[in-house]
């Protein structure tokens, strides 16, 4: 299997549930990202991990909790979400910045989250 894989592809949860989104990359990249995609809004960068260290946290509510146990896996733990959190959550990865790498991100297909 190659590329960036996200599971589940669809998730429906109540506001009191606890669930997790999973992302796995098979590209040997060192950085991984969570983006939130809502209709008619720019993609919102949520979290960035580089070599398993969180290097960016864009004022995301604490009901979203990321975890990066190794450079190939990234999780987004969800608890007590609100209906406005319903969106497509995209995971991405990128290789080490350098001469041959000019910023391309490699995306998964996303997890469609619906909060009831």
Return residues touching other proteins (CB under 8 A): 30-31, 33, 35, 40-43, 45, 48-51, 53, 55-56, 88, 90, 92, 94, 96-97, 102-105, 107-110
What is the smallest separation between the CB atom of 18 and other proteins, expressed in angstroms?
A: 25
Reduced 3-state DSSP string for the chain: CCCEEEECCEEEECCCCEEEEEEEECCCCCEEEEEEECCCCCCEEEEEEECCEEEEECCCCCCEEEEEEECCEEEEEEECCCHHHCEEEEEEEECCCECCECCCCEECCCEEEEEC
**In the complex, minimum distance from the CB of residue 11 to other proteins, in angstroms, rounded to a whole number:** 14
Residue placing its CB nearer to other proteins in the complex, 48 or 115: 48
């Amino acid at each position: 299997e190659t590329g960036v894989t996200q599971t589940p592809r669809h998730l429906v949860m109540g506001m009191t549930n606890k669930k997790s989104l999973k992302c796995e990359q098979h590209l040997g990249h060192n950085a991984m990202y969570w983006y939130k995609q809502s209709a008619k809004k720019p993609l919102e960068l949520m979290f960035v991990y580089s070599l398993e260290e969180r290097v960016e946290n864009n004022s995301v509510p604490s009901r979203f909790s990321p975890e990066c146990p190794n450079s190939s896996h990234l999780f987004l733990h969800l608890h007590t979400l609100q209906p406005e959190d319903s969106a497509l959550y995209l995971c991405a990865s990128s290789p080490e910045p350098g001469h041959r790498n000019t910023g391309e991100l490699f995306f998964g297909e996303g997890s469609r989250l619906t909060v009831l």
